[in-house]
Amino acid sequence: MKIRLAVGAFGLTAMGIGLTILLTDPYVRDPIDVAQWLAGAVLLHDGALVPLVLAIGAALRGPRWLRGPLRGGLIAAGCLTAVALPALVGPGTPAGNPTVLPLDYGRNWLIALGAVAAATAVVAAVSAVRARHTSRREAAGPGD
């Protein structure tokens, strides 16, 4: 219970700091635009990303040692996509300021998804080895 309270207090403190920065930072010209963007991000996350990830995760079949890593990789890929989405579907580089979106975000997003897939494959392989080791030990019996 103490940890839950500490995490909750930390979250409230972080929200307070964020709100203070939002309202006092001279670079934030219109806090309402930021609030609208934040509301859109919450709607995208809770209305589209989470149901999609949960539905696909629930539909996964196969050995138990494989489902966990696949679901974890799917969650990571979904979050990565949600974060990258504004840069991926944005209007591109604004005229007169090429430094606003200077990178190839589509390529970098694909590279990051590849890293998530590679990490998922490594975790799945380790899980497979552990599952095989556990099943051999159980098949040998307690006295062997």
* pLDDT, averaged in runs of 10, over the chain (144 residues): 93 93 84 84 85 85 85 89 82 67 86 97 92 75 60
What pLDDT was estimated at residue 61? 82
Phi and psi of 62, rounded to 5°? 130, -175
Its pTM stands at 0.65
Contact 82, 44 (CB under 8 A): yes
What pLDDT was estimated at residue 38? 84
What pLDDT was estimated at residue 93? 61
What pLDDT was estimated at residue 121? 95
Coil/strand/helix, residue 54: helix
Alpha-carbon separation of residue 20 from 26, 28, 82 (angstroms)? 12, 11, 25
CA distance 109 to 95: 24
Residue 120 CB neighbours (<10 A):
19
